[in-house]
Amino acid sequence: MCAAPISADDRDRWVAVCTRDRLTTQRIVCATVAGVGILIIRDGERVVACERACPHEQADLSRGHVADGRLYCPHHRASFSLATGQVSAGWPSRPLRRFRVHLDDAQVWIDNTGQ
């Protein structure tokens, strides 16, 4: 997560995806940025953004669950590290694409260039 304010030079890279208040009532929030489905996930004090479609078989990860710092796919039960995007051992999948997150007083922003 980024703590510094978004500079004027970087403002085009960052997109507001939801209010911070939504993350107090929902653990997983869905958004779309430039036609790409994104999940914003609250995991304890951490906020993470990642692609919504599982890279293995395109299952909707918003229907999965979060536990112990991992996002579990609802289709095949593989899991992805929220910290790195790496898939659990034994699954033929690329890592989950993640996006940098910035929180200000009111909004959750993501870097639409990905990580």
Chain centroid offset of residue 59 CA: 15
User: Using one digit for the tens of pLDDT, what is the confidence trace for 11-68?
Assistant: 678 999 999 999 887 789 999 988 899 999 999 889 999 999 999 889 999 999 999 9
Tens digits of residue pLDDT in 61-99: 999 999 999 999 999 889 999 999 999 998 888 999 999
* Sequence spans of domains, the chain: 12-111
Q: The pTM is what?
A: 0.86
Q: Does CATH place domain 12-111 in 2.60.120.10?
A: no
Q: What mean pLDDT comes out for the span 96-112? A: 92
What's the CA gap between 39 and 31, in Å, rounded? Answer: 6
